[in-house]
């Protein structure tokens, strides 16, 4: 969800529409984008994508769970607005974080998201290590 090719408001609206027309069957999968082809095409600084993604997820959830919402973060800002539509699922559709790195697994766990671990070409032991990192971070939630 890096800037400029995605904005938290547009993402929240699009996923909410899909949730409504599917009668509450949407799962929201998201990631920070990490390939050079994706990032360079939009002139995105790869060193900022994790922070952009974290901020965007917070805004999407805020938009879905508040009648009115405003934000002024490091990457995006929006004055107080009533953003519609809201998703059918309450408090919001399930959110899954896609990642391949150890840091990403830790971050997805810290945020309490479902894990979509990319493990193409990785040994089962390496997959277990990354899933364990996710589970350890998830266990720190209150």
Give the predicted TM-score (pTM) of the model.
Answer: 0.90
Res 88: pLDDT: 98
Would you say residue 72 has pLDDT above 80? yes
117 three-class SS:
strand
Q: Average pLDDT of the chain?
A: 93
95 three-class SS:
strand
Rounded Cα–Cα distance for residues 35 and 101 (Å)? 13
Count Cβ atoms below 10 Å from residue 35 Cβ, excluding itself. Answer: 9
Would you say residue 67 has pLDDT above 80? yes
Q: How confident is the model at residue 1 (pLDDT cuts 50, 70, 90)?
A: confident
Question: Structural domain boundaries of the chain?
Answer: 1-93, 94-142
Res 62: pLDDT: 97
Res 112: pLDDT: 96
Of 20, 100, 5, 21, the C-alpha closest to 56 is 5
Res 44: pLDDT: 86
Count of residues making up the chain: 142
pLDDT tens digits, 91-133? 999 999 999 999 999 999 999 999 999 877 889 999 999 999 9
Of 29, 27, 38, 28, the C-alpha closest to 4 is 38
Structure tokens at 65: 């769970």
Q: How confident is the model at residue 6 (pLDDT cuts 50, 70, 90)?
A: confident
Res 39: pLDDT: 83
19: left (phi over 0), alpha (psi -120 to 50) or beta: alpha
Give the neighbor-by-neighbor strand order of the sheet with 28-30: 28-30, 95-99, 114-117
């Amino acid at each position: 969800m890096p800037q400029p090719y995605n904005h938290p408001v547009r993402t929240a609206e699009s996923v909410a529409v899909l949730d409504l027309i599917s009668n509450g069957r949407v799962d929201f999968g998201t990631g920070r984008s990490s390939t050079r082809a994706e990032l360079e095409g939009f002139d995105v600084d790869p060193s900022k994508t994790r922070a952009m993604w974290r901020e965007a997820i917070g805004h999407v959830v805020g938009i879905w769970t508040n009648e009115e919402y405003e934000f002024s973060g490091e990457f995006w800002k929006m004055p107080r607005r009533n953003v519609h539509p809201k998703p059918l699922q309450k408090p919001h559709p399930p959110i899954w974080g896609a990642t391949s790195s150890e840091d990403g697994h830790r971050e997805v766990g810290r945020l309490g998201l479902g894990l979509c671990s990319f493990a193409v070409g990785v040994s089962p032991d390496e997959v277990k290590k990354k899933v364990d990192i996710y589970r350890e971070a998830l266990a720190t939630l209150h």
